[in-house]
Chains A and B, each alone.
Chain A
Amino acid sequence: MREWSDDAGALRRFGLALVRDDRFVFDDVSASALIDKLFRQASLTLVDCPGKDRRAARVRAFAQFIRLYRRHARRLAVDEDGGWIETPPSCRGGGSAAVGVRSLPLELREALLLVVLAGFTHREAAAALDLPLAIVVDRLTRARARLAAHMASAREAVAAWPQSAHLRIVK
């Protein structure tokens, strides 16, 4: 049986992965500060739920968190340049999955993290995002394809590095 602390931990982990986007939030300290603010509001949904249907309450809490974060990101983006759902301009180098996920647009990132990191089914993710199931599946497909391409290009870049240079024999 899942407990409140499990749900809160999963929500916090999901939030940390979602808000660290290398566009507005560049480090874990800033991400934690933002999470503290959003998490406190979203977690009230978990505490105040009747307790009959824990999974439904969990979906509500994640949906609330996503709404709060979208509002926050939209406000920041309007302050900056007007656009908000788009690929972050500063995708730092590196081939890790974390960097690849951070380079995804918010609409793809939230769908992917809900399913893979938070363990929601596709139908639950659609409910949390307030979207039709087909759109969520489409976003998942695009997110996975982009992430795979990102990691493949990073691997190629590493393979192309002249590793033999330092092994040259000097007579």
Chain B
Amino acid sequence: MTGRIDPAETLAYVDDCLDPQARGDFEARLQADPELRREVARWEAQNRAIRAAFGAPPRSALDLGGASNENGARRAGELAGAIDGAARPFGQARKRRAAARPIAKPRHAGPGPIARRLAGAVALAAAIVWVGLPSLGPRPSSALVAAGASAARALADLPVEFAAGDPSALVARLGPRLALAPPLAPGLRLVGARLAPGSQATATLYLYENARGERVALMVEPLDETIAAPARRSEADGLSVAAWTGAGYGFVAAAAEDADVAALVAAAGAEDDSLADAGAQRR
């Protein structure tokens, strides 16, 4: 038997908004009406597609409404109660299934645990000597470098959002915390600024152009950093990058050419002690 489908009620069922009585009535009709079943399946498939498209965790296999819906917990409780209260054939008592025993791990032939730990310690010490020694001292976080490089890669070639030449206008648009006077480097023309996602908070991305018309980016992110770290050069996302911290800010200069980055670092007055480290890291 097929009846008229009420879209509001169907949606309420699919979105798990019906009370238990209405839900039971609807499910009874659902059993008898194939067209209604198709309609419900269509909307449930659409729900799954939307949740998957935006990275939301899928609802449970029984589609009980998800962790965020109190109806889900209620229906799960009802389901469990129905199972526990169901009559057993021949008056059998309900038995609890014993917990599965953990599978024993197979023993591997090879070095024992002490030898493995010793080898790990030796490898760790070697890594510290190889990587850490040339760059001891305060240094900007790798998250800051990655955020600056990815912002430069993604946003540098887009139109700027704010003109950065007028400091008072920049303060009015960005607020005093984000609007710093951008350094003016010889050979680089200041184009403007954009907002960009920093490593921890929103940052300002100042954009310059060199003589060849290539964009050079300087990301300035307000940080709760009190230790000043000198500029350190590296390469990220195919760009030459220099990052440093100071005065409560993190700075990342990124460009295709090393010379443009060096010009920005010099114009900002940052101490650039990374040349030796860069050489050591490239070895």
Contacts and interface: CB of A to CB of B under 8 A. Distances in A.
Interface in B135-192: 150-151, 154-155
A142 B15 CA distance: 15
A91 interface: no
A33 B54 CA distance: 17
Determine the main DSSP class of A at the interface with B.
helix
B196 A33 contact: yes
A90 B50 CA distance: 20
Nearest to B11: A140
B51 A10 contact: no
Interface of B: 7-8, 11-12, 15-17, 42-43, 46-47, 49-56, 65-71, 150-151, 154-155, 195-197, 201-202
7 contacts: A6-B68, A29-B155, A97-B50, A113-B54, A119-B68, A121-B15, A121-B17
Nearest to A98: B53
B178 to A, nearest CB: 11
A117 B15 contact: no
A168 interface: no
A52 to B, nearest CB: 15
A32 interface: yes
B11 A17 contact: no
A116 B15 contact: yes
Interface residues of A, number: 36
Given A36-B201, A97-B52, A117-B54, 13 more contacts: A6-B68, A13-B55, A13-B56, A29-B151, A29-B196, A30-B155, A33-B195, A97-B49, A97-B53, A101-B50, A101-B53, A116-B50, A137-B12
A116 B154 contact: no
A140 B134 CA distance: 60
A75 to B, nearest CB: 13
Contacts of B12: 122, 137
A46 interface: no
- List the 4 closest pairs (A to B, CB-CB), nearest first: A119-B68, A98-B53, A97-B49, A97-B53
B67 A117 contact: no
Nearest to A99: B53
Contact of A117 (B42, B51, B195): B51
A36 B202 contact: yes
Nearest to B201: A36
A80 to B, nearest CB: 14
A37 interface: yes
A96 B53 contact: yes
B38 to A, nearest CB: 13
A26 B55 CA distance: 18
Given A118-B68, A121-B69, A27 B54 contact: no
A144 interface: yes
A72 interface: no
Contacts of B42: 148
